[in-house]
Amino acid sequence: MKKSALLLITLLISVACLTGCIFDFGKDDMKNDAKNKTANTSVENTAPVETPVVEEPQSTKNGHTIVIDPGHQTKDSSETEPVGPGASERKQKDTSGATGVVTGLREYELTLQVSNKLKEELEKRGYNVILTRTKNEGEISCIERAEIANNANADVFIRIHANGDEDSSVSGAMTICQTSSNPYNSNIYAESRRLSVDVLDEYVSATGARRERVWETDSMTGNNWSKVPVTLIEMGYMSNPNEDSLMASDDYQWKIVNGIANGIDRFISGN
Ligand SMILES: [Zn+2]
């Protein structure tokens, strides 16, 4: 009897222990679930907490769109494209442009530096700004550049370039638009001409650069394909040691940007 009682007690203790253990495992599972729930909850809490969209006050936006075209790119395209809609004459899609005679800066680098600053300045002044390219690599043709301005229905299409000449003493700035008898877009000649004058006037006033002229020509593919007021600015000569150094400097680039932005303001306010 004693032996069987002892056996019974041992059995009971074993059962109690097992149940306890099972119960403990259950507790652990519940703890883990609780942990998981806590983890899930904390994820839910941190993820979609809606940050209020800080909209700029309407008054800071002026409703005008400017498309800036930083001239050239790394690649010299071997392909050609028509110089205007329906034209049989074709020109290279794009080239890598000029090179600074003392700085060694490439024109495509300079035009992107200036364009980025111009974007910043124009946005401060309330404009909606689009760049035709944001990096130096890649291939974008002159027609494609114009199409970006056309698709955006831009108020101004401003093309940023720097000049080059065999004579290193040649200096100064010019803007370029189509002629009044341009076969592709003479309908926007008057506006493009006025834009070219406004930008060049304000540019030379802000930078002190020599004023060359507004050059009217129908040989520029990007200008010819534009359906919106267009001007191309040659900021100065990269073949001129002084202008090359100036254009590469941060200070002068901000003068350039102010001049162009003032010209755009003047054009827009004259509409
Ligand atoms: Zn150029």
Tokens of 252: 């002068």
What's the CA-to-centroid distance between 191 and ligand 1, angstroms? Answer: 22
95 confidence band (pLDDT: 50, 70, 90): confident
Average pLDDT over residues 125-139: 95
What's the CA-to-centroid distance between 89 and ligand 1, angstroms? Answer: 20
Domain spans in the chain, listed from the N-terminal domain onward: 65-269
Residue 35 has pLDDT above 60, yes or no: no
**Tell me, what's the pLDDT at 6?**
52
**Tell me, what's the pLDDT at 83?**
95
Q: What mean pLDDT value characterizes the chain?
A: 86
What's the CA-to-centroid distance between 160 and ligand 1, angstroms? Answer: 8
Between residues 12 and 255, the one the model is more confident about: 255
What's the CA-to-centroid distance between 163 and ligand 1, angstroms? Answer: 6
**Tell me, what's the pLDDT at 25?**
40
Q: Which residues pair with 82 in a beta bridge?
A: 90
What's the CA-to-centroid distance between 36 and ligand 1, angstroms? Answer: 62
**Tell me, what's the pLDDT at 190?**
98
Report the predicted TM-score, pTM, of the whole model to 2 decimal places. Answer: 0.78
Residue 136 has pLDDT above 80, yes or no: yes
What's the CA-to-centroid distance between 32 and ligand 1, angstroms? Answer: 67
pLDDT digits (tens, 9 = 90+) for 220-252: 999 999 999 999 999 999 999 999 999 999 999
What's the CA-to-centroid distance between 236 and ligand 1, angstroms? Answer: 10
SS3 per residue for the chain: CHHHHHHHHHHHHHHHHHHHHHHHHHHHHHHHHHHHHHHHHHHHHHCCCCCCCCCCCHHHCCCCEEEEEECCCCCCCCCEEECCCCCCCEEECCCCCCECCCCCCEHHHHHHHHHHHHHHHHHHCCCEEEECCCCCCCCCCHHHHHHHHHHCCCCEEEEEEEECCCCCCCCCEEEEECCCCCCCCHHHHHHHHHHHHHHHHHHHHHHCCCEEEEEECCCCHHHHCCCCCEEEEEEEECCCHHHHHHHHCHHHHHHHHHHHHHHHHHHHHCC
**Tell me, what's the pLDDT at 22?**
40
Residue 16 has pLDDT above 70, yes or no: no
**Tell me, what's the pLDDT at 30?**
39
**Tell me, what's the pLDDT at 39?**
41
What's the CA-to-centroid distance between 1 and ligand 1, angstroms? Answer: 111
Residue 120 has pLDDT above 50, yes or no: yes
Q: By mean pLDDT, which of 28-37, 180-189, 192-201 is the weakest?
A: 28-37
What's the CA-to-centroid distance between 161 and ligand 1, angstroms? Answer: 4
What's the CA-to-centroid distance between 99 and ligand 1, angstroms? Answer: 10
Residue 34 has pLDDT above 90, yes or no: no
Residue 113 has pLDDT above 60, yes or no: yes
Residue 218 has pLDDT above 60, yes or no: yes
What's the CA-to-centroid distance between 71 and ligand 1, angstroms? Answer: 6
CATH 3.40.1390.30 fits 65-269, yes or no: no
